Amino acid sequence: MKKVFVYLFLFISFIQAHPHTFIDVYPTLHVEGSKIVKIHIKWKMDDMSSAMLIMEFDTNSDGKIDEKENDYIYKNYFVSLSKYHFYMDIIVKNEIVTLPNPKNFKASIEENRVCYSFDIDKKYEVKGTKFDFYDKDFFVAMILKKEFVKVNNKVAKITGEDKDFYYMYRMELR
């Protein structure tokens, strides 16, 4: 009975949810020895959401994101995503670690899709490190497929994790 009430209230709190935006996640990892020394993440938003964003981002309508537009996106859109941990968690030895501030943010338009790319400037052990991609509010669905991952010397294992009222993709290296 207790579980029913917990689910009920979770259900109510997620009344605005169900994904409206889909983001393909393209991680590029560079491994040296037993450590992941470079992490580059690229998001590709779905075509329809991109059309809405391009209207606002590409102010001079040249089909590109220039430096000024990039700054605007960074300050007004990207930074505010820190409260959602940039839709990712890094887990080391089963503990979520503080996500460093993403560096080298760059927005672009590729084949009508808005892309964000950034670096995570920290080194992690290959063994025992996991990367989770999700939006706990489920407004955005983060999509991670094996073919989206680029990594040297190691193989990425992608699994789906069922959470209460949202779905999450997990990546770990083998």
Partner 1 sequence: MTYEKFLRILVEWQYELNSYISSTIRSLNDENSLSVFLSILFVSFVYGAVHAAGPGHGKALVAFYFTSNKSDYKKAFQMGYMISIIHAISALIFTFGIFFILKTMFRQNFNNFSQIAMQISAVMIMCVGLYLIYEAYKSRKDKDKIVKKVQKSMVVVAFSAGVVPCPGVMTIVLFCIVLQQFILGVLAAVAMSIGMGLTISLAGILSIAINKKTSGKLREKRYILEIVGALLVFTLGLFLFLSSSDLR
Binding site for partner 1 (CB under 8 A): 7-9, 11-20, 22, 46-49, 51-53, 55-56, 112, 137-139, 141, 143, 160, 162-167
Q: Which is nearer to partner 1, 31 or 53 (CB)?
A: 53
Q: How far is the CB of 168 from partner 1 (least distance, A)?
A: 10
Instruction: Report how far Cα 36 is from the mean position of its chain's Cα atoms.
Output: 18
Q: How far is the CB of 52 from partner 1 (least distance, A)?
A: 5
Cα separation values, 7 from 11, 29, 140, 166, Å: 6, 37, 21, 13
Q: Which is nearer to partner 1, 66 or 125 (CB)?
A: 66
Q: How far is the CB of 45 from partner 1 (least distance, A)?
A: 11
User: H or E segment at 30?
Assistant: strand 21-32
Q: Which is nearer to partner 1, 41 or 168 (CB)?
A: 168
Q: Strands 140-143 and 21-32, how do they pair?
A: parallel
Distance CA(128)–CA(3), nearest Å, equals 32
